[in-house]
Structure 1
Amino acid sequence: MPITKESSTEYLYVKRSQYEQLKRELAELKRLIFGSKSERFVPNTDALQLGLFTEASKVTNESEQTQISYHRSKTKKHPVRLPLASHLPRVEEIIEPKNIVDGSIKIGEEITEILEYKPSKVYVRRIIRPKYALPNQAGIAIAALPSLILPKSNVGAGLLAHICVSKFVDHTPFYRQIQILKREGVVVAMSSMTGWFSKGVIQLGVLYEVLQKLILQSQYLQADESPIKVQDNHKKGSLHTGYHWVFHAPVDGLVLFKYDSSRSAKVPKDFLQQFSGTLQTDGYKAYQNLSTKHPIKLLACMAHARRYFEKALDNDKSRASYAMEQIQQLYAIERKIKERSLNTQTIKRYRELYAKPILKKLHVWMQQEYPKVLPKSAIGKAFAYSLNLWDKLSAYTQDGKYLINNNLIENAIRPLALGRKNYLFAGSHKAAQNAAMMYSFFATCKINDVNPYKWLHDVFERLPEHKANKLEELLPQNWKNPAVD
């Protein structure tokens, strides 16, 4: 077949596209291994500085050189030690001077505070209930046994809460916890610990259902998903990849993890059937065109758009830098809003005045520049992602309660990523859902600034006797520390 001009051009275009693809993949690999993890963009001012110094050297050569000397006094700064927390108990230790002379008068004292630590205390709680024989053979009197979270077990609410927090907040697997307890002289079998945890999760199931109900009643949700390896009886010798679907209600301060064995669009479709409001996600197609009972308004995530341009810096630095500079201005506006603690109406007006002009300018520029780049190049993919989702990317300016990105939900997912590095995989699909339940509670604790151990310990003690129609009181966002009251 003869080589024509058209076929030669097409061949060169394909090869160039392949070259750009390989170049982009190599740059991405280098960035993951050696690059900075921060996505914040700092413009390069080397060229400007070079021109400034070059001009200065010319002036020096043409004019008379004068030597200038000066003396600079350097003050050494000493680090400032932060005061120790005032709520911690103080154990006083008084050290009197030796051989003090009679008649000496105390004129003051020097106080040094040192932060100390004692290992966690494990003890046995003995509940003794005296039995009394009533007169005239009227029977036996004995006090009722206090309500226990696991009545047929020998684990208390405090230890059970510690086991859960250690694994899902401090990322300490069960086998490490067993080793730590063994150092204290307490031997616990793996079967006992896993059994305690499983039964404790069953008790928390009713609270998880209430949390799920409240999430679906929220008017504004953020959604994302994260993989987790799971042992599957149907896949001997290999692990199944399941997913934790995460939903965050920023206004209400709620987080819900929901496990599913797949990443199909059916999962959010089924879960969000009763939801009506605004949903903010990345560009994953599973969230697009959801057929639910109620209309759902979709928002996109500016951080994901910025990430595409950050990856394109090695491919087309000029265009990628310009886009990131404009996005950086949008984030500067958001930082000012956060610093001033503005209400939602003022936030909307502020964005209309300052963010919308930047967004309009950036959109026009993208439309002009996109036809000039290769579609499969890194910069081409960055343009395509942003332009395809532009209406959803810029819609955060329509309501003051909306956020510019999904970063808060990614922060909620981070403990899951840290946990995966420690326990590697879930033992079953049921275990993965149990983990989802605990991550839901502890993520909600975190965003509401609630101590997870104190909360769970109190819940385990109160849950057996708590009224079913008042379970919302036990959720972290509503919980009141009884020790404070």
Structure 2
Amino acid sequence: MEQARAGLIEKALEIEKLKAQLARLRRMSFGRSSEKLDRQIEQLELMLGDLEESVGQSQQRVPGRPCDEARDKPVRRPLPDHLPREEVVHAAACNCPSCGGALRRLGEDVTEILEYRPGRFHVIRHLRPKFSCRRCEAITQAAMPDLPIERGRPGPGLLAHVLVSKYADHQPLYRQSEIYAREGVALERSTLADWVGRSTAILEPLVSLLREDVMAAPRLHADDTPVPVLAPGMGKTRTGRLWVYVRDERPHGGEPPPAAAYFYSPDRKGAHPQRHLAGFAGHLVADGYAGFNALYTAERQPGPVIAVACWAHVRRKFHDVYAARQSPVAQEALERIAALYTVEKAIRGRPPDERRHVRQERSRPAAENLIAWMESTLPKLSGRSDLAAAMRYALARRESLLRYLNDGCLAIDNNAAERALRGVALGRKNYLFAGSDAGGERAAAVYSLIETAKLNRIDPQAYLTDVIARIGPHPARHLAELLPYNWQPTS
């Protein structure tokens, strides 16, 4: 506990330092336009938000709000009068619970919660009348319903909206604050950051369960993508990685629902996917990244990981050559690969046995002829050419490229994982991805829930709203009921 308190105070002090740097930059840029200074301010806003999220996340785990005294928190203002109000009355008992006597009303306590439904803010007023017993003078009042954040004013819908806006719609918190201000609702970036950190802490058990469930699958798609992360110092970034592992049994009509588990790492060392997949055994559809090689050893425990190479990666290399030089050899390779995909289109959703039979009959001759054609063509090409490199890439993986032909449950490519990273790429274009490694880990956690909901055609806003409202008192042994693909919304 003391270590946690010290860590929170240290983070709070770092926040104050960044606030001072940000204020100086704003003064420097006042009255003149400077793209460089604007970019530095934007980066400091992001770093500051990440640190405040970390403080909120830690405080949600540690009772007693250990470092409130170390931070200057925004003054809590009354909720705007122009927002519509909804009243929820929490009635007390009809008779005194102590002696059974008649009750007389003394007054009421009112707690206002800021909530969000798609398209509008509103305020929920929780009214709890107080009664005293005419016989024994005992005071009776209904308990306040559980709130996601203790002593906080955001409702679960508003917390879900902030998370979805940041991680699904790629709006950093300082931009969200500006958007809300235009709607007449003043929410400081530091307040939003505190909410993001606390919401992530609330959802941590569910994210852990989702990751465990994904890793128990017999087949996974894996991929990673670079993400810029702020490094200490002004205006500098380094490259972290976001990893995704996707379970998708839909192409062969499998029963398990689709799911995606994300992880963050500060670099691309092979130790990271080896740690993520420590409990996995089965087929892994992935690119040729060498960091996976340690997983493919026969003596590995709890069992071997069997490599399945991606034909889309092979096709992409030939496509790049054709787009640059209109090479007839690259064109022929593309046409031969297209024949394999024509078969896949015809058998999508078919049972595994049928898929395997059709592949053996139609795809195997075409794939083996393609490999033989590349073997005979490669010696005729310049060894330094991109076309030769594309052929060498395919030939070096011929065994794992042909492996899908023998199993109707396997996919021809790794597009399932690549699709799961498209949202990350959009966020990268819209703003700098993360202000710290901790921010990257929070992003991976929330992405896991949001993208799994989307894979199951569930609205992430509706899902997170309901789950944030229910997860606190929900029995731990029934937590799997709140996974996106098991979720049943409350009315």
Q: State the TM bucket, normalised to the shorter chain.
A: 0.7 to 0.9
Which of 436, 455, 478 in structure 2 is aligned with 1:470?
478
Matched, 1:303 2:312: yes
Which of 346, 350, 357 in structure 2 is aligned with 1:336?
346
Equivalent positions of 1:38-437 (< 5 A) are 120-137=119-136, 139-233=138-232, 237-251=235-249, 252=256, 253-290=258-295, 292-293=300-301, 294-313=303-322, 314-315=324-325, 317-338=327-348, 341-437=349-445
> How far, CA to CA, are the matches of 2:146 and 2:121 in structure 1?
21
2:171 alignment partner, SS class: coil
Deviates more, 1:145-154 or 1:187-196: 145-154
Distance 1:217 1:335, change over 3 A: same
Do the aligned residues in 1 keep the contact of 2:314 with 2:390 (CA within 8 Å)? Answer: yes
1:386 alignment partner, SS class: helix
Do the aligned residues in 1 keep the contact of 2:206 with 2:479 (CA within 8 Å)? Answer: yes
Do the aligned residues in 2 keep the contact of 1:316 with 1:379 (CA within 8 Å)? Answer: no
Counterpart of 2:153 in structure 1: which amino acid? Answer: N
Counterpart of 1:389 in structure 2: which amino acid? Answer: R
> How far, CA to CA, are the matches of 1:163 and 1:368 in structure 2?
57
> How far, CA to CA, are the matches of 2:118 and 2:440 in structure 1?
31
> How far, CA to CA, are the matches of 1:189 and 1:392 in structure 2?
52
Counterpart of 2:314 in structure 1: which amino acid? Answer: A
Gaps of 5+ in 1: 1-117
Alpha-carbon distance, 1:323 to partner: 1.0
> How far, CA to CA, are the matches of 1:425 and 1:449 in structure 2?
26
Alpha-carbon distance, 1:478 to partner: 1.1
> How far, CA to CA, are the matches of 1:236 and 1:186 in structure 2?
32
1:125 alignment partner, SS class: strand
Counterpart of 1:305 in structure 2: which amino acid? Answer: V
Q: Which residue of 2 aligns with 1:112?
A: none
Which of 430, 445, 452 in structure 1 is aligned with 2:460?
452
Counterpart of 1:238 in structure 2: which amino acid? Answer: K
Equivalent positions of 1:433-444 (< 5 A) are 433-444=441-452
Counterpart of 2:337 in structure 1: which amino acid? Answer: I
Alpha-carbon distance, 1:245 to partner: 0.9
> How far, CA to CA, are the matches of 1:139 and 1:239 in structure 2?
62
How many corresponding residue pairs? 363
> How far, CA to CA, are the matches of 1:181 and 1:237 in structure 2?
28
Counterpart of 2:135 in structure 1: which amino acid? Answer: N
Counterpart of 1:267 in structure 2: which amino acid? Answer: H
Counterpart of 1:245 in structure 2: which amino acid? Answer: W
> How far, CA to CA, are the matches of 2:146 and 2:368 in structure 1?
62
> How far, CA to CA, are the matches of 2:118 and 2:235 in structure 1?
40
Alpha-carbon distance, 1:285 to partner: 1.1
2:135 alignment partner, SS class: helix
2:229 alignment partner, SS class: strand
> How far, CA to CA, are the matches of 2:265 and 2:469 in structure 1?
31
Do the aligned residues in 1 keep the contact of 2:217 with 2:247 (CA within 8 Å)? Answer: yes
Alpha-carbon distance, 1:344 to partner: 1.2
Alpha-carbon distance, 1:148 to partner: 1.2
2:400 alignment partner, SS class: helix
Alpha-carbon distance, 1:135 to partner: 3.7
Alpha-carbon distance, 1:232 to partner: 3.0
1:126 alignment partner, SS class: strand
> How far, CA to CA, are the matches of 2:364 and 2:292 in structure 1?
25
1:128 alignment partner, SS class: strand
Alpha-carbon distance, 1:129 to partner: 0.8
> How far, CA to CA, are the matches of 1:153 and 1:398 in structure 2?
56
2:228 alignment partner, SS class: strand
Deviates more, 1:434-443 or 1:378-387: 434-443
Distance 1:350 1:162, change over 3 A: same
Indicate the structure with greater strand content: 2
1:193 alignment partner, SS class: helix
Counterpart of 1:240 in structure 2: which amino acid? Answer: R
> How far, CA to CA, are the matches of 1:447 and 1:282 in structure 2?
22
> How far, CA to CA, are the matches of 2:489 and 2:381 in structure 1?
58
Distance 1:119 1:346, change over 3 A: closer
> How far, CA to CA, are the matches of 1:372 and 1:143 in structure 2?
84
| RMSD after superposition | 1.6
Do the aligned residues in 2 keep the contact of 1:373 with 1:380 (CA within 8 Å)? Answer: yes
Alpha-carbon distance, 1:137 to partner: 2.4
2:471 alignment partner, SS class: helix
> How far, CA to CA, are the matches of 2:118 and 2:317 in structure 1?
47
Do the aligned residues in 1 keep the contact of 2:312 with 2:415 (CA within 8 Å)? Answer: yes
Alpha-carbon distance, 1:380 to partner: 0.4
Alpha-carbon distance, 1:237 to partner: 4.3
